[in-house]
Structure 1
């Protein structure tokens, strides 16, 4: 049985890498080319391109052509979806913890 939100697992796997996280944070400020990102981050352009492909594959980054450059930008709708999933997980845990607290108070 497939659980709701299960399709976000690859997103979290992609974000588990510090370099990809740094790229995503940087792109959150402003779209950039792979060359621009390589100048700003301690990673080669070739590695940046590979990380961007992972982020694009899971839907966190989109690309567009701007003249002779390929520009990468954050896919806000996908981040919103991930945020909703995280909020749902947090709410479920809050409910569980509240239930445990209530039981403990009844017995104590």
Structure 2
């Protein structure tokens, strides 16, 4: 594992967002869900494509707060533009489990 400086860490903007819409994304190369995430007044609504279909269904995601990197450049995922990277960790089967705030946190709040 290589070390980074604290300034490198601060360059990554990770914020709390709330999923306001979620739809299956069957056209994706790997099974995915299209997400629309609200980051509040400062950043507004951003889109993401997330490979989280093993543990999550679109209808169970609406209203859920998640952590996401908001300062990566947009990325084309098939016909969908992903604007943020919703964060997760692998479970024992290497399937994604979302990172979520452990207590109620305001949307748009920055991780530090």
TM-score norm. by structure 2 comes to 0.25
Structure (1 or 2) with the larger CA radius of gyration: 1
Higher relative contact order structure (alpha carbons within 8 Å, sequence separation ≥ 6): 2
TM-score norm. by structure 1 comes to 0.26
Greater strand percent: which structure?
A: 2
Greater helix percent: which structure?
A: 1
